[in-house]
Structure formats: C-alpha cells, structure tokens
C-alpha cells in the first residue's frame, strides 16, 4: 500500500479506469484546461485529450442529460459537479431520467454513469455551497448513493461506481480532500456498495456515521476512551443507498446504545432513517433511545466561527454518548 490523499485517490481511480476502458470519459466545468477547482483532474486533458476530458459550459442539466444519453449508448461518463450543490439544477435529468431508465425499459437498458463532486461544510463556502445531499438522493430508487470516508474507500468505491451498470451519486467530502491514508496499489482494488464496516471496536456504545462525520466520530471515540473510560464502537456506513445496517444491529446487540451522526440538518435527515431502523429492529436490545447528532438547522454561515458552530464536532458526539449512557 501507499499513502495517498483523498483527492489523489479519486484522481487515481479515474485515471486507472480511463486507462483500462476507452469508454470511460469525464466531463464538467473547468476540469480540462483549468484542471479542476480542487485539482482532481490535473493533467488529465493533456493525457486523454478533449474527446475524453470535456470542458462543458455552465449547464449542469445539459451535462447530466448528455451523460444519460452517452450511458444508454454504451459509454461510461463521469460527470464532475464543481460542487454537488450545483447538481440541484440537474435534478430532473438525474431523478426522472438517470434513476428511472432501467425501470422504464423493463431492465433492458443500462445507465452506467457517475455523478461525483464535493459536498459539505468546513471550507468556508457559505450557504449555497456547503450543503450535503445524501438524504436528497438517497430517497430515490434507481440511484446508488456513496459516501466514502477514507482515501482507500474513495478509490475503491469510485472504481466500483465506474465499472457498474447503474447511475451512482458519488458524494465526496470537500473537507477530506487533503486527508491521507493507505490505499492499495492493486489496479483491480474495488470496494462494493452496501457493505458497512466496523471502523473501531468497542463495547459500551455504538456510533453510526459516514463521510466526514465518520472521521469526527473516530476522534470523539478516542477522547471518550482516554477521558471517560467509555469504549465506543464506530460503524462506517460507506453508502446510503444501498444501506447496510446489519453491522450496526450487531453492534447495538452488544452495546445496547446508539448514537447516529450526520453533518446535514436534523429534520428528515439520514440519521432519522437510520435511528428509526435501529429502533424498529433492535428495540428490545436498546437501553436508551437512539440519539442523533446533526448540523444546526440554519443556512451555512460564511464566517469561520459561525460555520464551526453550525456543524457537528467531537463535543456534541461526546455529549450524546454520555446522554444515552446516563453518564453525567
């Protein structure tokens, strides 16, 4: 294995798949000549040329709709959204077309496309650029929704997405781009969707999370262990659709307490679905109600001090753990 940043793992996955399959191409705003706002496509135009690295107009609906047509005809387009917030403009193409072509065709037509880009807070991009979209896209059948929390998963799950037969919403945490971690060098390294993992073992409480909040949860778990003697088991969901809660259920059977952590606003969030599922499935094993840790219910402020107040951090997770453990 080699140590790579989250950003480089994503770039490497795309380039390896473009080398492997000439049907793979990438399109997006400023991805070619400018080499991407977050530099993920650096060097790709020079290597692959303008037929496979396509600089588009500022037209997200056009990008997504074009990609649907390409995918239906056998290409494997990757659409980079400068930020996933801009994909709202393409909602009709994504939700009413990409997600439904297989259903409308009676399973006869594949739509192998990936829509990927950064989301979330932590980089002072204010209210229109700092939202998270796993609940928004996770609501719709026909889409896979992926939320990698490590460089290895970012690479392995993106390769799975590119090689698949159906549309994938690949949600990258902008605040994780500089994070480093070990990534397998194997050209065929992939990570399947719908397989959660135990990111940290523990016996006292279960913390369930994904994406950037998984990293925050791991830090909180270490602080709980060092300062309180509380051993938290941390579950990384990895994908929101398909959603694998079996490791979470097994963990709750052991710990009897659960905290679910998300970055997005509390009302109607992914944490609500996860908490409800744990309650329905594991009610007799729970010694306390499932707690949720979420972002504040406000548009994201630009000012750094207010952005920090609006997003979840270790103290909120620690407080929620203490609450479900009836620990002062």
Query: Of 29, 129, 134, 233, which residue is the catalytic one?
Result: 129
DSSP string, 95-161: IIIITTHHHHTTT------EEEEEESSSSS--TTT----HHHHHTSTT-EEE---SHHHHHHHHHHH
- Contacts of residue 18, defined as CB under 8 A and 6 or more positions apart, other chains included, come to 24, 25, 26, 44, 48, 52
CB 10 within 8 A of CB 155: yes
80 is catalytic: no
CB 169 within 8 A of CB 260: no
Write phi, then psi, for 116 (nearest 5 degrees). Answer: -130, 160
DSSP SS3 for 203: coil
CB 185 within 8 A of CB 2: yes
DSSP SS3 for 311: coil
Query: Of 12, 17, 29, 60, which residue is the catalytic one?
Result: 60
17 is catalytic: no
- Residues annotated catalytic, as ranges: 60, 129
């Amino acid at each position: 294995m080699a140590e790579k940043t989250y950003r480089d793992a994503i770039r490497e996955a795309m380039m390896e798949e473009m080398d492997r399959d000439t049907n793979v191409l990438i399109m997006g705003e400023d991805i070619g000549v400018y080499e991407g706002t977050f530099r993920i496509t650096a060097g790709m135009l020079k290597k692959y040329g303008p037929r496979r690295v396509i600089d588009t107009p500022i037209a997200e609906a056009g990008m997504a709709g074009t990609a649907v047509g390409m995918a239906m005809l056998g290409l494997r387009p990757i659409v980079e959204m400068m930020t996933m917030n801009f994909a709202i403009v393409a909602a009709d193409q994504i939700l009413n077309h990409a997600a439904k072509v297989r259903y409308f065709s009676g399973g006869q037509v594949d739509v192998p496309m990936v829509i990927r880009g950064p989301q979330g807070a932590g980089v002072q991009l204010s209210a229109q650029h700092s939202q998270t979209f796993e609940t928004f896209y996770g609501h719709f059948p026909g889409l896979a929704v992926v939320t990698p929390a490590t460089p290895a998963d970012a690479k392995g799950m993106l390769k799975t997405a590119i090689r698949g037969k159906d549309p994938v919403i690949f949600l990258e945490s902008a605040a994780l781009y500089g994070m480093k971690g070990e990534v397998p060098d194997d050209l065929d390294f992939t990570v399947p969707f719908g397989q959660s993992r135990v990111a940290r073992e523990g016996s006292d409480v279960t913390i369930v999370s994904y994406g950037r909040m998984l990293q925050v949860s791991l830090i909180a778990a270490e602080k709980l262990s060092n300062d309180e003697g509380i051993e938290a088991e941390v579950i990384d969901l990895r994908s929101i659709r398909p959603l694998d809660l079996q490791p979470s259920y097994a963990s709750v059977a052991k710990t009897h307490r659960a905290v679910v952590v998300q970055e997005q606003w509390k009302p109607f969030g992914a944490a609500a679905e996860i908490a409800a599922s744990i309650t329905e499935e594991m009610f007799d094993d729970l010694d306390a109600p499932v707690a949720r840790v979420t972002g504040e219910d406000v548009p994201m402020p630009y000012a750094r001090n207010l952005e920090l107040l609006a997003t979840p951090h270790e103290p909120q997770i620690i407080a929620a753990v203490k609450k479900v453990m009836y620990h002062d």
